[in-house]
Structure 1
Amino acid sequence: MKKPSFKMIKQGGTSVKIAAAIGTLAVILTACGGGDTAATSNSGATNSAGAANPAESVASNPPAATESAANPSEAPVTPEQLPEALLAGNYKGIYERFSAPFKEQISEADFIKMAESFMSGVKSLEKSSILNKSGAEQRTWVSDSGNKGIVGIFDTEGTILGLQVKELTPASETDSILTKNSYSLPFRGEWLVIWGGNNAMVNYHYEYESQRYAYDFVKAKDGYSYEGDPLKNESYFAFGEDIIAPADGTVVSVVNDIADNEPVGVMNEKAPAGNVVVIDHGGEYSYLAHMKKGSATVKPGDKVSKGDVIGQTGNSGNSSEAHLHFQLSDGKDLFTSLAIAVKWEGGIKPVQGETIGTAE
């Protein structure tokens, strides 16, 4: 079984993997992983330290699309119009909305060639998620057949900072097989789902059986996960927040001595999960990873009840900012077990871009 690395992609290209994709993906995501097929542009990304005000998001203030009287099929498009523009073959109009740095990465001719190839056989594109973070907006769509996905990154003016297309693994038969137990959220207050859902566009974990139904959560305010110096862990709203047991169980494993990464963005690949607590809930095991060094309040053998504090959110392991990696599996070893889709209390189904939990 392939062992995922929990690798994070920092926005602005701190960590980059190049692949044959449709241009350049300006990654705004953080959390443990993703982007194995993404190409990231340093110059085209919105940097978190100097990002625009997310309150001016394109969703609330979309730029006007200018219809060309001579050739409407080549009119520039808004983020909302990207799917219909792709389906209509309005590739010139899409390219017109590319940022200048993005255009430096790919010519119009090459973009049109790749877009035509990718869209072959696609009859419709359904919205999968919308994520606002660090002053940029990410929109994700999946094809009618479920085997192709596209991500667009937009600034507050609707300029396209990056695009990524990806061949998707068809829906797994295990998507509908839920845990036998119901689980509560492993935190208090409202948190943002950075990775979560049943396709690799909204949840990079999905490609790996051992982490297929994992989630990454951060705390965010007005679209930002930090305030102040982005290189300091203490600037992140999630750092030091209590993590709680999602259900009754017995602690089977605790790692508590891994240093939190600092400056933020420097990652520890030697201990990918960082500080982690594993709880046996009767043959189903919850993993709560990347916790703060020394914060674990439990030890192996301890009995815990739902809602008990077990530690605090940290930035340990192969992580690029304070966040919680959470999943359920059928065994106590993360990399040799299979992830199980979580049956959440209240019937919720968290997906990337959603804010979940209760107001504090």
Structure 2
Amino acid sequence: MDEGPQQPTTPHSATGAVVLSLPFTGRWLARNSPARRVPSHGTDLLGERYAIDFIGVDDRRRTATHRDWRSMLATEPAQRFFAYGRPILAPADGVVVVAHDGEDDHVARRSQLALVPYALGQVSRLRQGVPAIAGNHLIIALPGGGGFVALVHLRSGSVRVAAGDRVVAGQPIAECGNSGNSTQPHLHIQVMDSADLSVAQGVPMVFRRFREWPRGVRDPQLRESGMPGEGAVVEPSTGSAR
């Protein structure tokens, strides 16, 4: 009996992790990597168990154009940071199931003085629900029931797709911002078993074909698949790993 065309499925690594493409171009710094610890963000809430953060950097690993008195004592404009406004790309083929926009981008906080009141507001933001934590965000259903990938803290007004849209890996879908529970512009990405962040459980993921500069290492390593180490700088690569 002809069963018709087979539905595409989500690629998985040898360990069963979902395989994604890095959702950007250029160089980014890895923070809160599950290569360092699990849960990577210190909690299983909101499907964050295997999540990772990426902060845009320049060739000198700087996250912002400069430091001044505001960096030490106050808040800073989000536009000062290299990540802010950088294009975010679909990390896989799939269908958009959530496209939330309209949350404000916050000022950035590197100063310990500015971080204290922000940290004290964490519980209040959790009570406000998903938008207060995720800010502007997209959730994409992966093929073949392979889970859901969330891209979080997007720039206000930058979301270029809507629920129901099909996307392909590498397609521009938004820009990096500083919305939601974020102290400086960065991208938070995670794979989950549900599109509902309030009940989702995290799913392991890895990224395909990227250059990685581990912390303290001058020359990059070419990796065919894996999870960036904590404090490593990465960029996508079309080359093969050695």
Same fold per superposition (TM over 0.5): yes
Shift in Å, 1:291: 0.4
Preserved contact between residue 195 and residue 351 of structure 1 (Cα < 8 Å): no
Alignment of 1:1-360 (within 5 A): 176-179=15-18, 182-200=19-37, 204-208=40-44, 210-221=47-58, 222-228=60-66, 230=71, 231-262=76-107, 264=109, 269=125, 270=128, 271-282=132-143, 283=145, 284-345=147-208, 346-358=224-236
Preserved contact between residue 195 and residue 203 of structure 1 (Cα < 8 Å): no
Q: CA RMSD in A?
A: 2.2
Counterpart of 1:205 in 2: which secondary structure?
Answer: coil
Preserved contact between residue 35 and residue 230 of structure 2 (Cα < 8 Å): no
Q: Which amino acid aligns with 1:245?
A: A
2:221 alignment counterpart = none
Q: Which has the higher contact order (CA 8 A, sep 6+)?
A: 2
Shift in Å, 1:339: 0.9
Task: Give the greater-gyration-radius structure (CA).
Answer: 1
For each residue in 1:6-41, what CA deviation from the matched residue of structure 2 results, as whole angstroms up to 9, or x when unmatched?
xxxxxxxxxxxxxxxxxxxxxxxxxxxxxxxxxxxx
Unaligned stretches of 5+ residues in structure 1:
1-175
Q: Which amino acid aligns with 2:21?
A: S
Unaligned stretches of 5+ residues in structure 2:
1-14, 209-223, 238-242
Shift in Å, 1:288: 0.3
Shift in Å, 1:203: 6.3
2:9 alignment counterpart = none
Question: TM-score if structure 1 supplies the norm length?
Answer: 0.47
Q: Within 2, Cα distance between the matches of 1:219 and 1:347?
A: 21
Q: Within 2, Cα distance between the matches of 1:203 and 1:312?
A: 26
Q: Within 1, Cα distance between the matches of 2:50 and 2:42?
A: 6
Q: Within 2, Cα distance between the matches of 1:292 and 1:275?
A: 7
1:100 alignment counterpart = none
Preserved contact between residue 203 and residue 352 of structure 1 (Cα < 8 Å): no
Shift in Å, 1:205: 1.9
Shift in Å, 1:189: 1.2
Preserved contact between residue 188 and residue 358 of structure 1 (Cα < 8 Å): yes
Q: Within 2, Cα distance between the matches of 1:307 and 1:217?
A: 17
Q: Within 1, Cα distance between the matches of 2:91 and 2:24?
A: 8
Q: Which amino acid aligns with 2:24?
A: F
For each residue in 1:282-316, what CA deviation from the matched residue of structure 2 results, as whole angstroms up to 9, or x when unmatched?
32111000000000000000010111111000000
1:47 alignment counterpart = none
Over the matched positions of the two proteins, sequence identity in percent amounts to 32
Shift in Å, 1:224: 2.4
Q: Which amino acid aligns with 1:193?
A: A
Q: Within 1, Cα distance between the matches of 2:236 and 2:192?
A: 26
Shift in Å, 1:199: 4.7
Question: TM-score if structure 2 supplies the norm length?
Answer: 0.69
Preserved contact between residue 178 and residue 184 of structure 2 (Cα < 8 Å): yes
Counterpart of 1:272 in 2: which secondary structure?
Answer: helix
In structure 2, relative to structure 1, the CA distance for the partners of 1:203 and 1:227 (3 Å cut) is farther
Shift in Å, 1:348: 2.2
